Amino acid sequence: MDPGRQLALDAGGADFLVDTANVVRATELTDGRPAHLERLTLLCEALAGFARDESAQVYAVVDRTLLSDPHLSPAERATLARWAAEGRVEVLPWADPRLLELAHALDMPVVSRDNYVDFHRRYPWIPGNTDTFLLPVPDAGGRGVAVVPRIMPVVEEARISLKEEQNELHAVGLHDRRGSGVRERVFRRSWHCPEPGCRLFGPDARAAAPMPGYRQGVPRCPEHAAPLADAGPAPARVLAKIRVDGVLRTRFTVVEGDLVTVGRFPDGPGRIALFPWLEEGVRRLISRDHLRVTVRGGALRVSDTSHNGSTVRRRDAPPVPLRPGREWTLRPGQVVELYEGVELLLSGRRYTLAPDDGERDPHPPPRPEDSAPTMLRPPDPAGGASGGIRGPGPGGGRKPGRRRRRR
Ligand SMILES: [Zn+2]
């Protein structure tokens, strides 16, 4: 059977979306060949059976690399190229964003083995989803293909960050998906740009400058494209982030030896002002200088300088108040809570790509009351300690969204 007639010319008229390269390279499906175009044909048959409709239409999105995959025969590559020319498959450098965009917009099932972890933040309906994704599996006879509904995994936030980071590193040439992984050497050194007055890698550049690009085997200035000179070992840096009511507001880099002040409206350099993200009632319960953050020995150290105090939540232990004057070494999985829902934590990212790459709201200008003294928190009638605890724990804050879908 030629699946050509089942391949839809436009997504709007299709019944299923297919992550084509993912299916064609699914070695568990048939004979174990690293890539086999027949798997797409068998999948189309399986989908017609699944839909109980011989004419079920499939919209196939294809990663461009599949068209030159050496594991396909010349005849298979020619067939793919013909389908692409006829508009029966959509060919893109990376199929995933397009597939999910279509699934989201058209409410259509996706056939893939991929968990799409790097898209869980953009599409909060993916983790835990039970009705949008189908898994191709060998059929009972072992010669064909069947499809079964999938439950998408709920992945820890730090793993999502790492996956997103890999994609960003890949885009600037600092991550090699097939080879060595992250080009660590680039991150362990400081770099200088030969261009006079370079904003990013000049002599006055901040230590938390963005990472260089990487092309033709050398790190390069992203602005001037010039090869960068090695200026010695880089100081330790740690990435932290601010989350307010479960929403990531900003990430910032703390460099060994620097002091960063986090608060409602701190003074001086190296400050993270929280006031734009705080609700009216919360603003004045957060002190202007609430926390001081430094890096020593490669670890993030936090101390409280506030009126109302902060609390450290831990994964497997009771929360502890952060006592004034005492430094706390923040570990992965721990969260410093400045007030319910206002949190400082370590980023799952290991590398600085930009000095500040959080999703920021446009900052409204501060108002006089933002620099006013902090209001003392009224005593808790329930008798709880300062810094009431809520939320499902360090990874949480936001329940995995689950979109109900019509089928
Ligand atoms: Zn430069």
> pLDDT tens across 2-47, in order?
777 899 988 888 999 999 999 999 999 988 899 999 999 999 999 9
CB 169 within 8 A of CB 159: no
Per the CB < 8 A criterion, the answer to whether 219 and 200 are in contact is: no
Q: Model confidence over 40-55: pLDDT tens digits?
A: 999 999 999 999 988 8
Ligand 1 mean position, distance from CA 198 (Å): 4
235 CA to middle of ligand 1, Å?
20
Dist. CA 211 → ligand 1 center (Å):
12
Over residues 390-407, mean pLDDT: 34
Distance from residue 207's CA to the centre of ligand 1 (Å): 14
Q: How far is the CA of 302 from the centre of ligand 1 (A)?
A: 34
CA of 196 to the centre of ligand 1 (A): 8
Per-residue pLDDT, 158: 72
259-286 pLDDT, tens digit per residue, is 999 999 988 778 899 998 999 889 889 9
- The stretch 347-358 carries a mean pLDDT of 58
> 354: CA distance to ligand 1 center in Å?
15
* Residues in CB range of 32: below 8 A, 6 or more apart: none
- Find the range with the poorest average confidence among 144-148, 273-277, 338-342, 373-377: 373-377
CA 191 to ligand 1 centroid distance, Å: 10
The reported pLDDT for the residue numbered 248 is: 82
**8 C-alpha to ligand 1 centroid (Å):** 48
Distance (Å) from CA 268 to ligand 1 centroid = 27
Domains detected in the chain = 3-149 (3.40.50.11980), 157-233 (no CATH), 237-371 (2.60.200.20)
pLDDT band at 200 (very low <50, low <70, confident <90, very high): confident
pLDDT at 1 over 80: no
Distance in Å, CA 382 to ligand 1 centroid: 57
Q: How far is the CA of 201 from the centre of ligand 1 (A)?
A: 6
325-to-3, 76, 302, 317, 390 alpha-carbon distances in Å: 70, 68, 10, 22, 25
Match 């101390």 to its residue by tokens.
303
Q: Give the mean pLDDT of 164-170.
A: 79
Distance from the CA of 332 to the center of ligand 1, in angstroms? 34
CA of 238 to the centre of ligand 1 (A): 24
State the pLDDT at residue 205: 65
203 Cα–ligand 1 center, Å: 11
Ligand 1 centre to CA of 171 (Å) is: 19
Say which residues have a Cβ less than 8 Å from residue 83's Cβ, sequence separation at least 6. 4, 7, 60, 89
In the reported structure, the alpha carbon of residue 197 is separated from the centroid of ligand 1 by a whole-number distance in angstroms of 8
Rounded to the nearest whole angstrom, what is the distance from the C-alpha of residue 73 to the centroid of ligand 1?
A: 46
Distance 258 CA to ligand 1 centre (A): 24
Task: Measure 204 CA to ligand 1 centroid, in angstroms.
Answer: 12
* 223 Cα–ligand 1 center, Å: 5
How far does residue 216's CA lie from ligand 1's centre (Å)? Answer: 17
Phi, psi at 301, each rounded to 5°: -115, 135
Beta strands 213-215 and 299-304: pairing type? unpaired
CA distance 23 to 16: 13
- Number of residues written out for the chain: 407
Distance 361 CA to ligand 1 centre (A): 29
The per-residue b/e assignment along 234-259, b for 16 or more CB within 10 angstroms, e otherwise, is bebbbbbbbbbbeebbbbbbbbbebe
